[in-house]
Amino acid sequence: MRIAVLSDIHANLPALDAVLAALGEVDAIWHLGDVVGYGPHPDEVVARLRDVEAIGVRGNHDEAALGALDVTYFNPAARWAVEWTARRIAPETRAWLQDLPERLEIEKITLVHGSPRDPTWEYVTTTPAARANLAASATTQCLHGHTHIPIAWRDDDGHVEAVRPSDGFELVLDERRVLLNPGSVGQPRDGDRRASAMVLDTEARRVTWRRVEYPIAAVQADIRAAGLPAWLADRLATGD
């Protein structure tokens, strides 16, 4: 089974379309939350995911857009964007987001947005956090997003290894417990402005990271036209 794994699309339709085209034919599309927030195309992104029958989980920005999460701890631009999203989204978009669970287990693989310990909010960015979440995962393999940075954390006989993939990097999946982060489709933060995603091949037991160019200038123009903070447009150009 060949599965496209997407996370942190953040209402960026051109990035999503470019990734779907680049990954080619797949048997399923899984997403790891933060479908909306930051970007100018929340309804359009949800409609596209619905059209391709994507399944997945809810992120913190999705919860905030539904009014289910206190945005006090969001930075000002993120708070402004999610409040704009909450005012703008169509009823069918709201209903689709509302139906997303915080956690899924499919094909003996766990899907969360943040981490196994805290599906909505925890950032897994350090070895201690990775070690704790590898132990907390109910399955050997866990897919998560939230950090916007592609990475794998793997337990190798008590030693936690951080694997930082480049475009086209393949990781063989074995009996070792692993956290797999595809990076962000709509707002990468690892210094590479290209959209980031993964392809999971359950038969070959490997995962491949992909980076994809998309029309950043067009998204920046849409952000400005929507009246969203200029910082959100500027950030797309740098991938930081």
Task: Residue 123: name the closest of 68, 173, 184 by CA.
Answer: 184
Alpha helices in the chain (DSSP H): 13-23, 42-51, 60-65, 76-88, 91-98, 127-136, 216-226, 230-238
Identity of residue 158: G
pLDDT given for residue 73 in this prediction: 79
Q: What is the CA radius of gyration of the chain?
A: 17
* Separation CA 93–CA 112 (nearest Å): 20
Q: For residue range 208-231, list pLDDT tens digits in order.
A: 999 999 999 999 999 999 999 888
Identity of residue 67: G
> Which range has the worst mean pLDDT, 18-32, 64-78, 105-119?
64-78
Q: Are 119 and 143 in contact (CB under 8 A)?
A: no
Please state the pTM of the whole predicted model.
Answer: 0.96
For residues 166-194, average pLDDT: 97
- Residue range 2-238, CATH number: 3.60.21.10
pLDDT over threshold 90, residue 114: yes
Quote the percentage of the chain above a pLDDT of 90: 88
pLDDT given for residue 182 in this prediction: 98
pLDDT given for residue 75 in this prediction: 83
Q: Where are the domains of the chain?
A: 2-238
Q: What strands, in cross-sheet order, belong to the sheet with 151-156?
A: 103-106, 109-112, 141-143, 178-181, 151-156, 159-163
pLDDT band at 78 (very low <50, low <70, confident <90, very high): confident
pLDDT given for residue 177 in this prediction: 97
| CB-facing half-sphere around the CA of 61: CA atoms within 13 A | 26
What's the mean per-residue pLDDT of the chain? 95
Distances (CA, A) of 5 to 17, 112, 156, 180, 206: 14, 12, 24, 10, 13
Q: Are 77 and 32 in contact (CB under 8 A)?
A: no
pLDDT band at 68 (very low <50, low <70, confident <90, very high): confident
